[in-house]
A and B are shown apart, each in its own frame.
Chain A
Amino acid sequence: MDYTGDPAGAPAYLDAATAAPPHPVTREALLAALADGWADPSRLYAAGRRGQQLHEAATAVVAEILGVRADEVSFQPSGTAAAQAAVLGGLRGRERVGRVLVHSAIEHSAVLHAARTAEAVEVGVDRLGRLDLDAWATAVRAGGVALAGLISASHEVGTVQPVAAAAELCAEAGVPLFVDAAQTVGRAPVPPGWSLLSASAHKWGGPAGVGVLVVRKGVRWLSPYPQDDLYRPRHPGALSLPAVVAAAASLRAVTAEARSEAVRLSALVDRIRERVAATVPDVEIVGDPVERLPHLVTFSCLYVDGEALLHALDRHGFAVSSGSSCTSSTLRPSHVLEAMGVLSHGNVRVSLHRDTTEADVERFLTVLPGVVAAIRKEAGI
Protein backbone atom coordinates (compact mmCIF):
# COMPACT_ATOMS: atom_id res chain seq x y z
CA MET A 1 0.00 0.00 0.00
CA ASP A 2 1.36 3.46 -0.85
CA TYR A 3 0.83 6.46 1.33
CA THR A 4 1.42 9.89 -0.05
CA GLY A 5 0.56 11.79 3.12
CA ASP A 6 2.83 14.60 4.19
CA PRO A 7 5.13 13.18 6.84
CA ALA A 8 5.10 16.60 8.56
CA GLY A 9 8.78 16.48 9.41
CA ALA A 10 11.95 14.71 8.34
CA PRO A 11 11.43 10.93 8.16
CA ALA A 12 12.97 9.08 11.10
CA TYR A 13 14.04 5.47 10.76
CA LEU A 14 13.52 3.88 14.19
CA ASP A 15 13.97 0.19 13.41
CA ALA A 16 17.69 -0.39 13.98
CA ALA A 17 16.96 -3.75 15.62
CA THR A 18 15.80 -5.02 12.21
CA ALA A 19 18.65 -3.38 10.29
CA ALA A 20 20.76 -0.43 11.42
CA PRO A 21 21.52 2.14 8.71
CA PRO A 22 25.03 1.49 7.35
CA HIS A 23 27.80 3.23 9.28
CA PRO A 24 29.83 5.64 7.05
CA VAL A 25 32.79 3.27 7.41
CA THR A 26 30.66 0.47 5.91
CA ARG A 27 30.21 2.40 2.71
CA GLU A 28 33.88 3.42 2.48
CA ALA A 29 35.21 -0.06 3.18
CA LEU A 30 32.68 -1.69 0.86
CA LEU A 31 33.60 0.55 -2.07
CA ALA A 32 37.33 0.14 -1.44
CA ALA A 33 37.05 -3.64 -1.17
CA LEU A 34 34.86 -3.86 -4.28
CA ALA A 35 37.80 -2.37 -6.21
CA ASP A 36 40.48 -4.34 -4.45
CA GLY A 37 39.06 -7.49 -2.88
CA TRP A 38 36.62 -9.15 -5.25
CA ALA A 39 38.78 -12.17 -6.21
CA ASP A 40 38.26 -15.61 -4.66
CA PRO A 41 40.57 -15.83 -1.62
CA SER A 42 41.11 -19.56 -2.14
CA ARG A 43 42.93 -19.07 -5.47
CA LEU A 44 46.71 -19.01 -5.74
CA TYR A 45 47.31 -16.03 -8.06
CA ALA A 46 48.07 -12.51 -6.87
CA ALA A 47 44.45 -11.27 -6.83
CA GLY A 48 43.45 -14.35 -4.82
CA ARG A 49 46.28 -13.76 -2.36
CA ARG A 50 45.09 -10.18 -1.93
CA GLY A 51 41.64 -11.56 -1.18
CA GLN A 52 43.13 -14.00 1.32
CA GLN A 53 44.97 -11.12 2.99
CA LEU A 54 41.78 -9.08 3.32
CA HIS A 55 39.84 -12.08 4.62
CA GLU A 56 42.47 -12.76 7.27
CA ALA A 57 42.59 -9.12 8.30
CA ALA A 58 38.78 -8.97 8.62
CA THR A 59 38.74 -12.20 10.63
CA ALA A 60 41.46 -10.88 12.94
CA VAL A 61 39.52 -7.66 13.62
CA VAL A 62 36.32 -9.55 14.52
CA ALA A 63 38.25 -12.05 16.64
CA GLU A 64 40.00 -9.31 18.57
CA ILE A 65 36.76 -7.45 19.30
CA LEU A 66 35.02 -10.64 20.44
CA GLY A 67 38.06 -11.72 22.46
CA VAL A 68 38.52 -15.04 20.64
CA ARG A 69 41.11 -16.67 18.38
CA ALA A 70 40.98 -15.90 14.66
CA ASP A 71 40.60 -19.58 13.76
CA GLU A 72 37.45 -19.75 15.89
CA VAL A 73 35.67 -17.16 13.68
CA SER A 74 33.88 -17.82 10.41
CA PHE A 75 31.74 -15.57 8.25
CA GLN A 76 28.30 -16.80 7.22
CA PRO A 77 25.73 -15.58 4.67
CA SER A 78 23.59 -13.95 7.41
CA GLY A 79 22.94 -13.84 11.14
CA THR A 80 20.18 -16.38 10.62
CA ALA A 81 22.52 -18.74 8.77
CA ALA A 82 25.13 -18.31 11.51
CA ALA A 83 22.62 -19.03 14.31
CA GLN A 84 21.26 -22.06 12.52
CA ALA A 85 24.75 -23.40 11.74
CA ALA A 86 25.57 -23.00 15.44
CA VAL A 87 22.48 -24.88 16.58
CA LEU A 88 22.48 -27.62 13.94
CA GLY A 89 26.26 -28.16 14.07
CA GLY A 90 26.33 -27.98 17.87
CA LEU A 91 23.59 -30.61 18.10
CA ARG A 92 25.25 -32.84 15.53
CA GLY A 93 28.60 -32.62 17.30
CA ARG A 94 27.07 -34.06 20.46
CA GLU A 95 24.71 -36.59 18.96
CA ARG A 96 26.21 -39.30 21.14
CA VAL A 97 25.17 -37.39 24.29
CA GLY A 98 21.61 -36.85 23.21
CA ARG A 99 19.23 -34.87 21.02
CA VAL A 100 17.91 -32.32 23.51
CA LEU A 101 18.26 -28.60 22.88
CA VAL A 102 17.47 -26.42 25.90
CA HIS A 103 16.53 -22.88 24.84
CA SER A 104 14.79 -19.83 26.23
CA ALA A 105 11.21 -19.09 25.18
CA ILE A 106 12.35 -15.77 23.70
CA GLU A 107 14.91 -16.92 21.14
CA HIS A 108 14.87 -15.47 17.65
CA SER A 109 12.63 -17.44 15.26
CA ALA A 110 15.77 -18.56 13.36
CA VAL A 111 16.82 -20.50 16.47
CA LEU A 112 13.29 -21.78 17.13
CA HIS A 113 13.07 -23.11 13.57
CA ALA A 114 16.39 -24.95 14.04
CA ALA A 115 15.13 -26.21 17.43
CA ARG A 116 12.34 -28.08 15.66
CA THR A 117 14.93 -30.51 14.31
CA ALA A 118 15.79 -31.54 17.89
CA GLU A 119 13.97 -32.47 21.08
CA ALA A 120 13.50 -28.95 22.29
CA VAL A 121 13.04 -28.04 25.96
CA GLU A 122 11.84 -24.48 26.37
CA VAL A 123 12.68 -22.41 29.47
CA GLY A 124 10.37 -19.55 30.36
CA VAL A 125 10.94 -15.91 31.25
CA ASP A 126 9.32 -13.58 33.80
CA ARG A 127 7.01 -10.64 33.08
CA LEU A 128 10.05 -8.47 32.26
CA GLY A 129 11.38 -11.02 29.79
CA ARG A 130 14.25 -12.32 31.92
CA LEU A 131 15.25 -16.00 31.84
CA ASP A 132 14.06 -18.23 34.72
CA LEU A 133 17.50 -19.37 35.92
CA ASP A 134 16.12 -22.05 38.29
CA ALA A 135 14.20 -23.68 35.46
CA TRP A 136 17.27 -23.28 33.23
CA ALA A 137 19.44 -25.08 35.83
CA THR A 138 16.97 -27.98 36.02
CA ALA A 139 16.72 -28.21 32.24
CA VAL A 140 20.45 -28.26 31.48
CA ARG A 141 21.14 -30.80 34.27
CA ALA A 142 18.69 -33.32 32.82
CA GLY A 143 20.05 -36.19 30.74
CA GLY A 144 20.57 -36.12 27.00
CA VAL A 145 21.15 -32.38 26.62
CA ALA A 146 23.36 -31.80 23.58
CA LEU A 147 23.24 -28.00 23.50
CA ALA A 148 21.71 -24.97 25.21
CA GLY A 149 20.77 -21.74 23.43
CA LEU A 150 20.26 -18.30 24.94
CA ILE A 151 19.79 -14.95 23.22
CA SER A 152 22.12 -12.29 24.70
CA ALA A 153 19.31 -9.75 24.94
CA SER A 154 15.77 -9.89 23.62
CA HIS A 155 15.53 -8.51 20.09
CA GLU A 156 11.86 -7.69 20.72
CA VAL A 157 11.80 -6.12 24.18
CA GLY A 158 15.47 -5.38 24.92
CA THR A 159 15.76 -7.27 28.21
CA VAL A 160 19.37 -8.36 28.75
CA GLN A 161 19.65 -12.04 29.66
CA PRO A 162 21.78 -13.46 32.51
CA VAL A 163 24.27 -14.99 30.07
CA ALA A 164 27.17 -15.36 32.54
CA ALA A 165 24.99 -17.14 35.13
CA ALA A 166 23.37 -19.35 32.48
CA ALA A 167 26.82 -20.19 31.09
CA GLU A 168 28.05 -21.19 34.54
CA LEU A 169 25.11 -23.55 35.00
CA CYS A 170 25.83 -25.03 31.56
CA ALA A 171 29.52 -25.48 32.41
CA GLU A 172 28.62 -27.31 35.64
CA ALA A 173 26.36 -29.61 33.63
CA GLY A 174 28.96 -30.07 30.86
CA VAL A 175 26.60 -28.60 28.26
CA PRO A 176 27.94 -26.18 25.62
CA LEU A 177 26.09 -22.85 25.43
CA PHE A 178 25.23 -21.10 22.19
CA VAL A 179 24.61 -17.34 22.50
CA ASP A 180 22.75 -15.47 19.77
CA ALA A 181 24.39 -12.08 20.27
CA ALA A 182 22.92 -10.30 17.26
CA GLN A 183 21.55 -7.37 19.29
CA THR A 184 24.59 -7.05 21.55
CA VAL A 185 27.72 -7.28 19.37
CA GLY A 186 28.82 -3.76 18.43
CA ARG A 187 26.83 -2.20 21.30
CA ALA A 188 28.04 -3.86 24.48
CA PRO A 189 30.52 -6.57 25.52
CA VAL A 190 29.16 -10.14 25.48
CA PRO A 191 29.57 -11.83 28.90
CA PRO A 192 32.03 -14.74 28.95
CA GLY A 193 31.45 -18.47 29.31
CA TRP A 194 29.75 -19.38 26.04
CA SER A 195 30.91 -22.06 23.58
CA LEU A 196 29.28 -20.86 20.36
CA LEU A 197 28.17 -17.37 19.33
CA SER A 198 26.46 -15.79 16.35
CA ALA A 199 26.09 -12.17 15.27
CA SER A 200 24.80 -10.24 12.29
CA ALA A 201 26.56 -7.32 10.60
CA HIS A 202 23.48 -5.34 9.56
CA LYS A 203 22.37 -5.17 13.19
CA TRP A 204 25.50 -3.15 14.09
CA GLY A 205 25.55 -0.91 11.00
CA GLY A 206 27.50 -3.20 8.70
CA PRO A 207 26.20 -4.51 5.39
CA ALA A 208 23.36 -7.04 5.15
CA GLY A 209 24.41 -10.54 4.14
CA VAL A 210 27.21 -11.07 6.66
CA GLY A 211 26.80 -13.26 9.70
CA VAL A 212 29.50 -14.19 12.21
CA LEU A 213 29.81 -17.62 13.78
CA VAL A 214 32.28 -18.37 16.56
CA VAL A 215 32.96 -21.92 17.71
CA ARG A 216 35.42 -22.03 20.61
CA LYS A 217 38.32 -24.48 20.61
CA GLY A 218 37.40 -27.80 22.18
CA VAL A 219 33.71 -27.48 21.32
CA ARG A 220 32.47 -30.38 19.25
CA TRP A 221 30.80 -29.00 16.15
CA LEU A 222 29.94 -31.07 13.08
CA SER A 223 28.84 -29.37 9.89
CA PRO A 224 25.16 -29.88 9.13
CA TYR A 225 25.95 -29.16 5.47
CA PRO A 226 27.88 -31.16 2.86
CA GLN A 227 31.41 -29.71 2.77
CA ASP A 228 35.12 -30.67 2.77
CA ASP A 229 36.01 -29.96 6.39
CA LEU A 230 33.23 -31.33 8.57
CA TYR A 231 34.73 -30.08 11.83
CA ARG A 232 35.17 -26.40 11.15
CA PRO A 233 32.49 -23.94 10.00
CA ARG A 234 33.16 -22.25 6.70
CA HIS A 235 31.20 -19.99 4.43
CA PRO A 236 28.97 -22.10 2.15
CA GLY A 237 29.79 -21.07 -1.43
CA ALA A 238 31.58 -17.93 -2.49
CA LEU A 239 32.17 -15.37 0.23
CA SER A 240 31.17 -11.76 -0.43
CA LEU A 241 34.60 -10.52 0.56
CA PRO A 242 33.84 -6.79 0.14
CA ALA A 243 30.84 -7.18 2.48
CA VAL A 244 32.97 -9.09 5.00
CA VAL A 245 35.66 -6.39 4.90
CA ALA A 246 32.97 -3.73 5.41
CA ALA A 247 31.45 -5.74 8.27
CA ALA A 248 34.77 -5.97 10.09
CA ALA A 249 35.68 -2.30 9.50
CA SER A 250 32.28 -1.12 10.69
CA LEU A 251 32.40 -3.39 13.75
CA ARG A 252 35.67 -1.74 14.73
CA ALA A 253 34.13 1.71 14.21
CA VAL A 254 30.91 1.04 16.15
CA THR A 255 32.78 -0.71 18.97
CA ALA A 256 34.96 2.39 19.40
CA GLU A 257 31.80 4.53 19.68
CA ALA A 258 29.73 1.98 21.59
CA ARG A 259 30.12 3.29 25.12
CA SER A 260 29.24 6.91 24.37
CA GLU A 261 26.43 5.91 22.00
CA ALA A 262 24.97 3.60 24.64
CA VAL A 263 24.82 6.48 27.13
CA ARG A 264 23.22 8.82 24.61
CA LEU A 265 20.67 6.31 23.26
CA SER A 266 19.85 4.89 26.67
CA ALA A 267 18.85 8.36 27.86
CA LEU A 268 16.59 8.73 24.81
CA VAL A 269 15.03 5.33 25.54
CA ASP A 270 14.39 6.41 29.15
CA ARG A 271 12.70 9.52 27.81
CA ILE A 272 10.48 7.40 25.50
CA ARG A 273 9.61 5.02 28.36
CA GLU A 274 8.58 7.88 30.65
CA ARG A 275 6.79 10.06 28.14
CA VAL A 276 4.81 7.30 26.42
CA ALA A 277 3.60 6.04 29.80
CA ALA A 278 2.61 9.62 30.76
CA THR A 279 0.98 10.75 27.51
CA VAL A 280 -0.68 7.64 26.06
CA PRO A 281 -3.54 6.20 28.16
CA ASP A 282 -3.88 2.42 28.56
CA VAL A 283 -0.34 1.64 27.48
CA GLU A 284 2.05 -0.97 28.80
CA ILE A 285 5.79 -0.34 28.44
CA VAL A 286 7.31 -3.81 28.29
CA GLY A 287 10.75 -5.23 29.07
CA ASP A 288 13.20 -4.56 31.89
CA PRO A 289 13.56 -0.79 32.48
CA VAL A 290 17.17 -1.12 33.71
CA GLU A 291 18.74 -4.39 32.54
CA ARG A 292 18.08 -3.66 28.89
CA LEU A 293 19.71 -2.91 25.55
CA PRO A 294 20.65 0.76 25.26
CA HIS A 295 18.77 1.41 22.04
CA LEU A 296 15.48 -0.49 22.14
CA VAL A 297 12.06 0.05 23.72
CA THR A 298 8.75 -1.74 23.20
CA PHE A 299 5.23 -0.82 24.29
CA SER A 300 1.70 -2.07 23.69
CA CYS A 301 -1.46 0.05 23.45
CA LEU A 302 -4.88 -1.30 24.42
CA TYR A 303 -7.68 -1.09 21.82
CA VAL A 304 -5.25 -0.37 18.99
CA ASP A 305 -4.54 -2.52 15.97
CA GLY A 306 -0.76 -2.94 15.61
CA GLU A 307 -0.87 -2.80 11.83
CA ALA A 308 -2.98 0.37 11.82
CA LEU A 309 -0.53 1.95 14.26
CA LEU A 310 2.46 0.96 12.11
CA HIS A 311 0.91 2.45 8.97
CA ALA A 312 -0.20 5.62 10.73
CA LEU A 313 3.32 6.16 12.09
CA ASP A 314 4.72 5.45 8.62
CA ARG A 315 2.48 8.18 7.21
CA HIS A 316 4.06 10.53 9.74
CA GLY A 317 7.53 9.46 8.60
CA PHE A 318 8.39 6.98 11.36
CA ALA A 319 9.67 3.48 10.60
CA VAL A 320 9.04 1.17 13.56
CA SER A 321 8.24 -2.52 13.89
CA SER A 322 5.60 -4.48 15.78
CA GLY A 323 5.13 -7.83 17.48
CA SER A 324 1.36 -7.77 17.05
CA SER A 325 -0.14 -10.77 15.26
CA CYS A 326 -1.64 -8.79 12.39
CA THR A 327 1.81 -7.54 11.35
CA SER A 328 3.52 -10.95 11.31
CA SER A 329 3.70 -13.44 8.46
CA THR A 330 2.32 -16.18 10.71
CA LEU A 331 -0.65 -14.09 11.95
CA ARG A 332 0.35 -15.19 15.44
CA PRO A 333 1.23 -12.74 18.19
CA SER A 334 4.93 -12.48 19.01
CA HIS A 335 6.14 -15.56 20.91
CA VAL A 336 8.29 -13.23 23.02
CA LEU A 337 5.36 -11.09 24.20
CA GLU A 338 3.34 -14.27 24.82
CA ALA A 339 6.14 -15.84 26.86
CA MET A 340 6.21 -12.69 29.02
CA GLY A 341 2.42 -12.61 29.30
CA VAL A 342 2.24 -8.97 28.22
CA LEU A 343 -0.24 -7.35 25.87
CA SER A 344 0.58 -8.23 22.26
CA HIS A 345 -1.83 -6.06 20.33
CA GLY A 346 -1.11 -2.44 19.55
CA ASN A 347 2.57 -3.30 19.92
CA VAL A 348 5.38 -1.05 18.73
CA ARG A 349 9.13 -1.59 18.90
CA VAL A 350 11.29 1.51 18.59
CA SER A 351 15.03 0.97 18.12
CA LEU A 352 17.53 3.79 17.82
CA HIS A 353 20.93 4.12 16.13
CA ARG A 354 23.81 6.54 15.72
CA ASP A 355 21.89 8.77 13.29
CA THR A 356 18.87 9.09 15.62
CA THR A 357 18.68 12.61 17.01
CA GLU A 358 16.96 14.02 20.08
CA ALA A 359 14.74 15.96 17.63
CA ASP A 360 13.62 12.68 15.99
CA VAL A 361 12.62 11.27 19.37
CA GLU A 362 10.87 14.49 20.40
CA ARG A 363 8.85 14.56 17.18
CA PHE A 364 7.91 10.91 17.68
CA LEU A 365 6.78 11.60 21.24
CA THR A 366 4.75 14.59 20.06
CA VAL A 367 3.03 12.70 17.25
CA LEU A 368 2.36 9.35 18.97
CA PRO A 369 -0.43 10.29 21.43
CA GLY A 370 -2.55 11.82 18.64
CA VAL A 371 -1.97 8.83 16.36
CA VAL A 372 -3.08 6.38 19.06
CA ALA A 373 -6.08 8.55 19.97
CA ALA A 374 -7.17 8.76 16.31
CA ILE A 375 -7.07 4.97 15.87
CA ARG A 376 -9.04 4.45 19.08
CA LYS A 377 -11.59 7.06 18.03
CA GLU A 378 -12.08 5.28 14.72
CA ALA A 379 -12.64 2.03 16.62
CA GLY A 380 -15.26 3.78 18.76
CA ILE A 381 -13.32 4.03 22.03
Chain B
Amino acid sequence: MSDVVIDVGKRPVREVHEEIQAAAQAGKSITVTNTLSRHNLGVGLPAGCSIRFEGSVGYYCGGLNNGAIIDIERNAGWGCGEAMASGHITVGGYAGMSVGAAMLGGTIHVKGDSGPRAGVAMKGGNIIVEGKIGYQSGFMAHGGKIIALGGAGPSCADALWEGEVWVTGDIEDLGVDAVVTEPTAEQVAEVDAILDPLGLKDTSRDWRRIVAGQRLWYFESRDAKAWLMI
Protein backbone atom coordinates (compact mmCIF):
# COMPACT_ATOMS: atom_id res chain seq x y z
CA MET B 1 0.00 0.00 0.00
CA SER B 2 1.29 3.40 -0.90
CA ASP B 3 0.99 6.44 1.29
CA VAL B 4 0.53 8.89 -1.56
CA VAL B 5 -1.15 8.62 -4.97
CA ILE B 6 -0.15 11.18 -7.58
CA ASP B 7 -2.13 11.46 -10.80
CA VAL B 8 -0.29 12.59 -13.94
CA GLY B 9 -2.80 12.89 -16.78
CA LYS B 10 -2.17 16.05 -18.77
CA ARG B 11 -0.78 18.09 -15.87
CA PRO B 12 2.56 19.88 -16.30
CA VAL B 13 5.41 17.48 -15.56
CA ARG B 14 7.10 20.11 -13.44
CA GLU B 15 4.09 20.21 -11.11
CA VAL B 16 3.97 16.41 -10.92
CA HIS B 17 7.69 16.34 -10.18
CA GLU B 18 7.34 18.82 -7.33
CA GLU B 19 4.66 16.65 -5.74
CA ILE B 20 6.79 13.54 -6.17
CA GLN B 21 9.84 15.25 -4.66
CA ALA B 22 7.83 16.55 -1.70
CA ALA B 23 6.39 13.10 -0.99
CA ALA B 24 9.83 11.53 -1.42
CA GLN B 25 11.43 13.99 1.00
CA ALA B 26 8.68 13.15 3.51
CA GLY B 27 9.64 9.49 3.20
CA LYS B 28 6.29 8.45 1.76
CA SER B 29 5.77 5.50 -0.52
CA ILE B 30 4.34 6.80 -3.81
CA THR B 31 2.11 5.46 -6.56
CA VAL B 32 1.89 7.47 -9.76
CA THR B 33 -1.24 6.84 -11.81
CA ASN B 34 -2.48 7.77 -15.26
CA THR B 35 1.09 8.12 -16.52
CA LEU B 36 0.14 8.23 -20.25
CA SER B 37 3.79 7.49 -21.21
CA ARG B 38 4.71 11.02 -20.25
CA HIS B 39 8.40 12.02 -20.34
CA ASN B 40 10.65 12.92 -17.43
CA LEU B 41 8.69 11.28 -14.64
CA GLY B 42 10.72 10.44 -11.54
CA VAL B 43 13.92 12.34 -12.35
CA GLY B 44 16.66 12.82 -9.74
CA LEU B 45 14.87 11.01 -6.93
CA PRO B 46 16.65 10.59 -3.59
CA ALA B 47 17.56 7.51 -1.57
CA GLY B 48 14.75 6.28 0.65
CA CYS B 49 12.11 7.03 -1.99
CA SER B 50 9.95 4.14 -3.11
CA ILE B 51 7.78 4.84 -6.12
CA ARG B 52 5.59 2.86 -8.50
CA PHE B 53 4.49 4.07 -11.91
CA GLU B 54 1.29 2.49 -13.15
CA GLY B 55 1.15 1.85 -16.89
CA SER B 56 3.97 2.98 -19.16
CA VAL B 57 6.36 5.91 -18.96
CA GLY B 58 8.13 8.03 -21.59
CA TYR B 59 11.76 9.19 -21.83
CA TYR B 60 14.18 9.46 -18.92
CA CYS B 61 12.05 7.88 -16.21
CA GLY B 62 14.35 7.34 -13.24
CA GLY B 63 16.99 9.52 -14.92
CA LEU B 64 19.75 10.76 -12.57
CA ASN B 65 18.31 8.47 -9.91
CA ASN B 66 20.08 9.02 -6.62
CA GLY B 67 19.02 5.94 -4.68
CA ALA B 68 15.27 5.58 -5.15
CA ILE B 69 13.48 2.24 -5.64
CA ILE B 70 11.48 2.68 -8.83
CA ASP B 71 8.96 0.22 -10.18
CA ILE B 72 7.52 0.77 -13.65
CA GLU B 73 4.50 -1.43 -14.29
CA ARG B 74 4.76 -1.66 -18.08
CA ASN B 75 7.09 -0.16 -20.70
CA ALA B 76 9.68 2.60 -20.43
CA GLY B 77 10.79 4.96 -23.21
CA TRP B 78 14.33 6.09 -24.04
CA GLY B 79 17.00 6.67 -21.43
CA CYS B 80 15.30 4.95 -18.52
CA GLY B 81 17.62 5.28 -15.52
CA GLU B 82 20.15 7.34 -17.45
CA ALA B 83 23.05 8.57 -15.28
CA MET B 84 21.63 6.76 -12.25
CA ALA B 85 24.09 6.90 -9.35
CA SER B 86 22.38 4.32 -7.14
CA GLY B 87 19.01 2.70 -6.49
CA HIS B 88 16.93 0.06 -8.21
CA ILE B 89 14.66 0.34 -11.24
CA THR B 90 12.32 -2.41 -12.39
CA VAL B 91 10.69 -2.21 -15.81
CA GLY B 92 7.80 -4.66 -15.99
CA GLY B 93 7.62 -4.60 -19.79
CA TYR B 94 10.03 -3.42 -22.45
CA ALA B 95 12.65 -0.69 -22.19
CA GLY B 96 13.32 1.59 -25.14
CA MET B 97 16.65 2.87 -26.44
CA SER B 98 19.57 3.58 -24.13
CA VAL B 99 18.29 2.08 -20.90
CA GLY B 100 20.87 2.84 -18.20
CA ALA B 101 22.86 5.18 -20.46
CA ALA B 102 25.92 6.54 -18.63
CA MET B 103 24.67 5.08 -15.33
CA LEU B 104 27.16 5.03 -12.48
CA GLY B 105 25.70 2.47 -10.11
CA GLY B 106 22.58 0.68 -8.93
CA THR B 107 20.52 -1.91 -10.74
CA ILE B 108 18.08 -1.79 -13.64
CA HIS B 109 15.95 -4.89 -14.16
CA VAL B 110 13.99 -5.12 -17.42
CA LYS B 111 11.53 -8.01 -17.61
CA GLY B 112 10.97 -7.77 -21.36
CA ASP B 113 13.42 -6.83 -24.12
CA SER B 114 15.46 -3.67 -24.27
CA GLY B 115 16.01 -1.42 -27.26
CA PRO B 116 19.30 -0.44 -28.87
CA ARG B 117 22.32 0.77 -26.92
CA ALA B 118 21.36 -0.60 -23.51
CA GLY B 119 24.05 0.52 -21.08
CA VAL B 120 25.72 2.85 -23.56
CA ALA B 121 28.60 4.72 -21.87
CA MET B 122 27.67 3.17 -18.50
CA LYS B 123 30.26 3.68 -15.78
CA GLY B 124 29.05 1.12 -13.24
CA GLY B 125 26.08 -0.80 -11.85
CA ASN B 126 24.17 -3.64 -13.45
CA ILE B 127 21.51 -3.89 -16.13
CA ILE B 128 19.61 -7.17 -16.24
CA VAL B 129 17.38 -7.81 -19.24
CA GLU B 130 15.27 -10.96 -19.16
CA GLY B 131 14.64 -10.74 -22.89
CA LYS B 132 16.90 -9.66 -25.72
CA ILE B 133 19.10 -6.58 -25.75
CA GLY B 134 18.94 -4.41 -28.89
CA TYR B 135 21.72 -3.54 -31.29
CA GLN B 136 24.95 -1.98 -30.10
CA SER B 137 24.14 -2.65 -26.46
CA GLY B 138 27.07 -1.87 -24.19
CA PHE B 139 28.54 0.63 -26.66
CA MET B 140 31.64 2.10 -25.00
CA ALA B 141 30.61 0.91 -21.54
CA HIS B 142 33.27 2.04 -19.09
CA GLY B 143 32.29 -0.32 -16.29
CA GLY B 144 29.46 -2.37 -14.84
CA LYS B 145 27.64 -5.34 -16.31
CA ILE B 146 24.86 -5.82 -18.83
CA ILE B 147 23.30 -9.24 -18.38
CA ALA B 148 20.98 -10.44 -21.13
CA LEU B 149 19.06 -13.66 -20.61
CA GLY B 150 17.39 -13.73 -24.04
CA GLY B 151 20.13 -13.06 -26.55
CA ALA B 152 21.53 -9.93 -28.16
CA GLY B 153 21.01 -7.96 -31.35
CA PRO B 154 23.69 -6.89 -33.82
CA SER B 155 26.93 -5.15 -32.94
CA CYS B 156 26.78 -6.45 -29.39
CA ALA B 157 29.29 -4.95 -26.91
CA ASP B 158 30.80 -2.55 -29.45
CA ALA B 159 33.95 -0.63 -28.47
CA LEU B 160 33.93 -1.51 -24.78
CA TRP B 161 36.13 0.03 -22.14
CA GLU B 162 36.00 -2.05 -18.94
CA GLY B 163 32.27 -2.82 -19.03
CA GLU B 164 31.16 -6.42 -19.53
CA VAL B 165 28.23 -7.83 -21.48
CA TRP B 166 26.95 -11.25 -20.42
CA VAL B 167 24.62 -13.07 -22.78
CA THR B 168 22.74 -16.35 -22.82
CA GLY B 169 20.91 -17.13 -26.04
CA ASP B 170 21.79 -16.07 -29.57
CA ILE B 171 24.00 -13.13 -30.37
CA GLU B 172 23.25 -11.75 -33.84
CA ASP B 173 26.77 -10.42 -34.19
CA LEU B 174 29.53 -8.88 -32.16
CA GLY B 175 30.57 -5.25 -32.24
CA VAL B 176 33.99 -3.83 -32.99
CA ASP B 177 36.73 -5.10 -30.63
CA ALA B 178 34.30 -7.35 -28.72
CA VAL B 179 35.91 -10.56 -27.48
CA VAL B 180 33.91 -13.52 -26.17
CA THR B 181 35.51 -15.19 -23.17
CA GLU B 182 34.67 -18.28 -21.19
CA PRO B 183 33.80 -17.02 -17.70
CA THR B 184 35.46 -18.56 -14.67
CA ALA B 185 33.38 -20.16 -11.93
CA GLU B 186 34.03 -17.13 -9.70
CA GLN B 187 32.80 -14.76 -12.40
CA VAL B 188 29.65 -16.83 -12.93
CA ALA B 189 29.07 -16.87 -9.18
CA GLU B 190 29.31 -13.08 -9.19
CA VAL B 191 26.63 -12.84 -11.88
CA ASP B 192 24.45 -15.40 -10.13
CA ALA B 193 24.69 -13.28 -6.98
CA ILE B 194 23.29 -10.35 -8.99
CA LEU B 195 20.49 -12.51 -10.44
CA ASP B 196 19.58 -14.34 -7.26
CA PRO B 197 17.75 -11.51 -5.49
CA LEU B 198 15.70 -11.00 -8.67
CA GLY B 199 14.67 -14.65 -8.66
CA LEU B 200 16.55 -15.20 -11.91
CA LYS B 201 19.40 -17.45 -10.84
CA ASP B 202 19.75 -20.56 -13.00
CA THR B 203 22.99 -22.51 -12.77
CA SER B 204 22.36 -24.38 -16.02
CA ARG B 205 22.97 -21.33 -18.23
CA ASP B 206 25.58 -21.31 -20.96
CA TRP B 207 27.14 -17.87 -20.56
CA ARG B 208 29.17 -15.82 -22.97
CA ARG B 209 31.05 -13.04 -21.27
CA ILE B 210 32.05 -10.30 -23.70
CA VAL B 211 34.87 -7.90 -22.89
CA ALA B 212 37.06 -5.43 -24.77
CA GLY B 213 39.81 -6.78 -27.01
CA GLN B 214 41.53 -3.49 -26.08
CA ARG B 215 42.50 -2.83 -29.71
CA LEU B 216 40.63 0.49 -29.54
CA TRP B 217 42.18 1.56 -26.27
CA TYR B 218 45.34 2.85 -27.84
CA PHE B 219 46.81 4.34 -30.94
CA GLU B 220 50.05 2.45 -31.39
CA SER B 221 52.10 4.31 -28.83
CA ARG B 222 51.86 5.37 -25.22
CA ASP B 223 55.09 7.34 -25.35
CA ALA B 224 54.76 11.12 -25.54
CA LYS B 225 57.95 11.37 -27.58
CA ALA B 226 56.38 9.22 -30.29
CA TRP B 227 53.83 11.98 -30.87
CA LEU B 228 56.34 14.67 -31.80
CA MET B 229 56.49 14.18 -35.56
CA ILE B 230 54.17 17.10 -36.20
Q: Do A and B bind each other?
A: no
B contacts, CB < 8 Å to A: none
A contacts, CB < 8 Å to B: none
